Structures are given as C-alpha cells and as structure tokens.
Structure 1
Amino acid sequence: MYALCERYTGNRSLSFVAGFNLFYAQALIAPSEITAASFIIQYWNDKINVAVWISIFWVSIVALNLLAVGVFGEVEFWIGSIKLITATGLIILGVVLFFGGGPDQHGVLGFHYWKHPGAFVEHLVPGNTGKFLACWTSVIKAGFAFVLTPELITCAAAEAEHPRHNLPKATKRFIYRLIFFYFFGPLVIGIIVASNDDRLMSAIAAGSSGAAASPFVIVLTQLVTP
C-alpha cells in the first residue's frame, strides 16, 4: 500500500499515512469480528460468559492460519458462502415483507416506514441539518467495512490457481457484489424496520452491538411473537 500510494501520488508523507491507516484498520478487523460473533452467540445463550466465546474464536482463527493454505482456503470458502447465503436470504425476506407476505401482515408494507416516521432521523441538531448529520455519521461508520477493498484480492495472487485468469475475473465481479449487498441490504432494513422502533432505539441507547441491535433480529422477533 505504501509503495503503490507513493508511486501514484509521488508524496511519501501521504503514502506513509495511507499505509499506516491500512495497517491500523486491518489490525482492528479480526478483533471486531470476533467480538461481534461472540456477542451474537451470547444473545442466544447468555449463560456462558462472552470471554469464553471470544477465546474459542481467537484460538480457532490462529489455528486456521497455521494450517496449509489449501485447508485455510477451503474453510474460508465455506464460511464466506454461509455469509453470502444468509445475507441473500435476509434480503429476500425483506422483499417478501415489502409485498405483504409476512404472517398476519395486512396489506402491502411498501415504503410505509419512509413516510411514518420517516426515512431519516435527527442527530445532534434538529431539522434537515440533523438528518444530514445522521446520514453522514452512518456513512463514516459504514466506511470501516470498505477496508476489504478489491486490491486485497490481488494479495492472493501467489496462492491462487491460474492467477492471470482467476484474479481479474474475481476483481471485476467485486463491484456487482458491492452494489447488491451494500445497496439492497440497507434498503431492505429501511423498509422493514421503522427508524423510531422502540427496540432499535433502546438497543442504540444502551450501546448494544450484539444481535439485539440488528434490524433483522427485531423484525424476525416481531414476526414470531404473537
């Protein structure tokens, strides 16, 4: 990253900052993912201390990285497949609810929540400025997910089969996956959950980052609760 940025801009100071920023972001990815996964499990089983789940995931990740690249790649493939299938299923669920296909759902939901209470909420200051700040704050926080950008695909060139053929194909497909998950995912969330939902707001107020704060968990709980 340092060399590429310096080659592109000719600025060594900027390239150093960009390289250090990438290192810092990637250093946070594994701990944040481990913590998120542990809190999600704790939501379904709160009898075991979350530190136990964090330790299990941490040891598992270290062990996988010590195995042969073929084993690591196979595990990564199946874990990634589960993630993609789950995300796709949740988006399909949102489409079904959009057209009124949920249990005991009367009529088409449509963009009802975009009208009442509205698609944007105020943040820090009232009025349209507050709505803009809320949107901008969400963009800043979501930007962390873009650390895994397409250039990291090329890092697997030395370990991939037929890299001249497979890597360009995988990189070109990245934009389509990005559009699908990062556009339709937030769109579905905005459709199926009201911005002022009590469960969502209470989770945010409590600083919850586990499954209880997930809009999908909120809507699924609402569907199965009589």
Structure 2
Amino acid sequence: MSHKKEEKQETSEHGMVRGLENRHVQLIAIAGTIGTGLFLGAGRSISLTGPSIILVYLITGVFMFFMMRAIGEMLYMDPNQHTFINFITKYLGKGWGFFSGWSYWISLIFLGMAEITAVSTYVQYWFPAWPAWLIQLVFLILLSSVNLIAVKIFGEAEFWFGMIKIITILGLIATGVFMVLTNFETSAGHASLANITDHFEMFPNGWVSFVMTFQMVFFAYQAIEFVGITTSETANPRKVLPKAIQEIPVRIVIFYVGALLAIMAIFPWRQLPIDESPFVMVFKLAGIKWAAAFINFVVLTAAASSLNSTLYSTGRHLYQLAKEAPTPLMTRLELDKLSRTGVPSPAIIISAIVIAISALINVIPGVSDAFSLITASSSGVYIAIYILTMIAHMRYRQSSEFMADGYLMPAYKVLNPLTIAFFIFVFVCLFLQDSTVIGAIGASIWIVLFGIYSQIKFKGK
C-alpha cells in the first residue's frame, strides 16, 4: 500500500508531482482539439466555402499533427520538460527562448482574457442582471483554486469538462445519422447526404473565401500542443505521450469532420443561419426545445475548460521563465517556487491576477477596442512560436542528444519544412480579412521588435 502511494507521488526533476493519470491525459488530448469555435463558429466557416470546409479541417489537422509529432519527439527524449518552449532555448539559443517564453505566456494570458469574457457572456444568458466583472472574478477564483490544490484535481476537472464536449458532439453526429436514415423533413427539405454532394463546388464563393477559412480553422485547433505540457506530470510520460499524440488524426476525423458532415447533411449549407450555432439548430430540429440553453451550457463548460487549461499552462510557463531568466521582481514574488503539493502556486496566482485585468478592461469605455486588437495580435504571435518549435526540432535532429530509438517524427526532412511553410501560409491568410489584418500587423510588429530586443539582450550569452 505504501509503495502505491509513493508511486502516485512521484515527481519530475523540477519537483512537480506527477499526479495526472493516463485517463486524464487521454481525455485532455481529445477535448483539447475541440474549442468553442466548433460549437459557435461552424456556421460562419461553412458559409464561406461550403462542404470544402471539411478539406480545410483535414489539411490543417494534418499539419497540426506533424507539429505534435515534432514536439512529441523532443518531449519523449526529455520527459522532464513540462513545456516545449525549453527546446527552443536549448536548440536556438537563449534569445529565441526568451522571446518564445514571454510571447507564449502573454499570448496565453490574452487567450485567458478572451475565455473569461466569453464565460461571463454565457452565464448572462441565464442571469442577464449579473455584472460581467463579478462573474469573471468568481470563475477565476474557482478555477485558480482547482489549479492550486493539486494537479490531480485539475486533471479531474478537465476530465469532466472534456466529457461534456465529447458527448455533445457524439450526440450531434448520432442525430445526423438518424435524420439521414429516416429521411427526416426539415424546413429546407429532407436530411440527406445529397445536401453535401449535389452541385458540389470546391470554391463556391471563390478561392479567396476558401483560403480565408484556413486561419479560422487554424485557431479552432490552437492550443493543441497543450497535451504535450500535461504529459510531464503523468507517472509514465514515455508511455502516455505517444498514445495521446497518435490518436489525434482519429479525433479530428470523428469530432470535426463528423460534426460538420452531420450539420451539412441535415440542412443545405447555403441556408444555414450564420448568426445561430448549427448545434442549436440541429437539436431544435430533433425536438429538443431547450437546445439553445443546453448548447449554451456546453460552450460555457468548453470556455471554462479552456480557462482551466490556460491557468495550468500560464502558471507552468511563468515558473519556467522565473527559473531560466529570473529578475529581482520574480525572485521577490517567489515565482520559481513550488507549493507542498508540487504546484507552481505563486506563478498561477500572478497569472490569474493578470487575466483578471480583463474584468476591468470591459468596464472602461473605449479600452475594449484596443483589447480586441491585442488579442488578435497574440494569435499571429502564436504562429511564430510554432515555427520556432519546428526549427528547434530540426536542430535537435542534428544534435548529439538525438535519441535514435525515440518516438520519431516520420520523414522529418520533408514534413518539417512543409509544416513551417504551412504556418507561414496561415500567417499570410491573416492579412486577407478585415477582421484579422490589424491583428496581423500588430503581431508582425511584436515579432520584429521583441525578437530584435531578445537577441540583443542575450547576445554572446
């Protein structure tokens, strides 16, 4: 019995408790590929390019899988690293490591701010009189507590958050199959696969619309790398990691492609309402009168799940930054310290306080516009970090640390540069749409200026 307890409390060389179980990581891996964008934004992306949106999801999913194989290979070689940013520092130098570490932490903070804003919107669906700032602070305190107690509690919360998303999508797919098999009648005709195949065009609204959907779909997959961060806190990272990554393609086909096929088979895509969630529409057709309230509950749990994961990630990244490049302020705030349960508590608390600023931003008139601009910029910065990760992987392959019998990325000499080219293509796509062009310019300015500063700061080190 005592041996079992010791095994459960095993720690990594950084002192973090390996308290996550295999089932936690596998479900985090599944749910991590499903964002709120699928539940709310599917109608908009379908309206741009019709059934060929499935091809966009598949192509983007393939390249995200290649990136995960590169990250997985490096983490397999050194499972004590709880963030892939460390490999950028190791193989591209301290300057790019510093740039990536802070850029990634700031991008995650903005992601957290967007999620906490979304949470208050979903709660106000039922309680419109409740002030948004109060809802945001209550959720932040609750989810910070989940993260502060122990990593196992975090894993358990994510397990159930993820389960809700998965059951909803499977429910939608099952509804779609039932409606097609029974030739179910809707206000726009009958549910049938012919709704997808009849008059199929690759670019029904022109090739520019098709290309524009890539950046929308890319951000639906954003934070897919999160599963790599969690594996270092499992008892057997080298066993858990390959399994979690290997199943990503199957998940993409089942959850994304399956859900989109179901939606478009039930309802002709040209008549899909853009301003209503297709999930709400499908469940309403199935006779579920409280469909809107149910989907609102699902997206609320999806946003809470994302926020929970963001707090987990930001805490560990800030802890790592304090370890690698400490400043007097970081040392004073004890950001490089772990709690008795092996959790980077001070780093999680500071990250939560910074995310809480969004509650104030939404109250101050005029500031929210600037906030949405910065959030859009952080999305572009994310792409730069992914590219640096792929370059670090190439350097790792040429280093003396290369582990020939590890979890190897296949045909890396071809697939690695191809993946980098795809990420550059997505970045260029940000300049094609009015809603993302300003963010793309902001991201470019940040990458150039902060990149130069980071290189100068660590020149010769």
TM-score by length of 2: 0.37
Q: 2:87 aligned with 1:4, yes or no?
A: yes
> Residue 194 of structure 1 aligns to which amino acid in structure 2?
P
Aligned residue number for residue 224 of structure 1: 287
Using the TM superposition, give the Cα deviation of residue 2 of structure 1 relative to its aligned residue in structure 2, in angstroms: 4.5
C-alpha spacing 1:65/1:23, structure 2 compared with 1 (3 Å): same
Aligned residue number for residue 159 of structure 1: 233
Aligned residue number for residue 33 of structure 1: 115
Task: Give, in whole Å, the separation in 2 of the partners of 1:106 and 1:40.
Answer: 29
Q: Deviations over 1:121-155 (max 9, x none)?
A: 9xxxxxx5833333322221121132223x43232
> Which of 155, 161, 165 is the aligned partner of 1:73?
155
Aligned residue number for residue 181 of structure 2: 99
Aligned residue runs from structure 1 range 46-85, under 5 A? 47-49=128-130, 51=132, 52-85=134-167
C-alpha spacing 1:129/1:191, structure 2 compared with 1 (3 Å): closer
Using the TM superposition, give the Cα deviation of residue 100 of structure 1 relative to its aligned residue in structure 2, in angstroms: 2.9
**Which residues of structure 1 form unaligned runs of 5+?**
122-127, 204-212
Q: 2:254 aligned with 1:180, yes or no?
A: yes
Q: 2:168 aligned with 1:86, yes or no?
A: yes
- Which structure has the bigger radius of gyration? 2
The two structures, once aligned, show a CA RMSD in angstroms of 3.8
Using the TM superposition, give the Cα deviation of residue 217 of structure 1 relative to its aligned residue in structure 2, in angstroms: 0.5
C-alpha spacing 1:39/1:113, structure 2 compared with 1 (3 Å): farther
- Overall identity of the aligned pairs, in %: 26
Aligned residue number for residue 277 of structure 2: 214
Q: Does structure 2 retain, via aligned residues, the 8 Å contact 1:103–1:223?
A: no
Q: Does structure 2 retain, via aligned residues, the 8 Å contact 1:102–1:223?
A: no
Using the TM superposition, give the Cα deviation of residue 225 of structure 1 relative to its aligned residue in structure 2, in angstroms: 8.6
Q: Does structure 1 retain, via aligned residues, the 8 Å contact 2:195–2:269?
A: yes
> Residue 48 of structure 1 aligns to which amino acid in structure 2?
A
Aligned residue runs from structure 1 range 95-134, under 5 A? 95-100=177-182, 102=184, 109-114=191-196, 128=203, 130-134=205-209
Task: Give, in whole Å, the separation in 2 of the partners of 1:163 and 1:78.
Answer: 22
Using the TM superposition, give the Cα deviation of residue 81 of structure 1 relative to its aligned residue in structure 2, in angstroms: 1.5
Q: Does structure 1 retain, via aligned residues, the 8 Å contact 2:180–2:191?
A: yes
Using the TM superposition, give the Cα deviation of residue 23 of structure 1 relative to its aligned residue in structure 2, in angstroms: 4.0
Q: Deviations over 1:67-121 (max 9, x none)?
A: 21121111111111222122211121122222236578999521344478x7779
Task: Give, in whole Å, the separation in 2 of the partners of 1:214 and 1:166.
Answer: 35
Aligned residue number for residue 215 of structure 2: 140
C-alpha spacing 1:32/1:225, structure 2 compared with 1 (3 Å): same
Q: Does structure 1 retain, via aligned residues, the 8 Å contact 2:184–2:191?
A: no
**Which residues of structure 2 form unaligned runs of 5+?**
1-83, 290-461
> Residue 152 of structure 1 aligns to which amino acid in structure 2?
F
